[in-house]
A and B are shown apart, each in its own frame.
Chain A
Amino acid sequence: MLSTIVFSVLAVIALASGIAVFRVDSMARATYALAVSFVAVGALLLMFDLDYIGVITILMMVMEMAIMAIYMIMFMGMNPALMPMSMVHNKRWSAILAVGTFLLLAGGALLVPWPARSGSPATDLTASLGEAIMGSKMLVMLTVSPILFATIVAALVLANPRGRYDRWGDDLQRARPDDPQQGGLGK
Chain B
Amino acid sequence: MTLQLVLIAAAALFCVGLYGALSQQVVVMVMMGLELMLNGVILAAAAFWWFLAPTPDGQVLLLVVIAAMTVEMAMGFAVATLLHRSRGSDMTDSATDLSG
A-B interface contact total, Cβ < 8 Å: 222
A residues 91-115 touching B (CB-CB < 8 Å): 91, 93-95, 97-99, 101-102, 105-106, 109-110, 114-115
B42 contacts A41, C-beta separation under 8 Å: yes
In the complex, what distance in Å separates the CA atom of A92 from the CA atom of B11? 20
A71 contacts B29, C-beta separation under 8 Å: no
B residues 11-44 touching A (CB-CB < 8 Å): 11-20, 22-29, 31-33, 35-36, 39, 42-43
- Residue B75 at the A interface, CB < 8 A? yes
- Residue B1 at the A interface, CB < 8 A? yes
Chain B contact residues: helix, strand, loop or mixed:
helix
- Beyond A71-B77, A99-B15, list 18 extra A-B contacts (CB 8 Å): A7-B1, A37-B36, A44-B43, A45-B43, A49-B50, A50-B49, A75-B28, A75-B80, A98-B22, A102-B15, A106-B7, A109-B7, A110-B4, A119-B55, A120-B54, A125-B59, A128-B59, A140-B64
Q: Which 9 A-B pairs have the closest CB atoms?
A: A94-B22, A109-B7, A98-B19, A105-B11, A121-B54, A132-B56, A94-B23, A128-B56, A158-B78
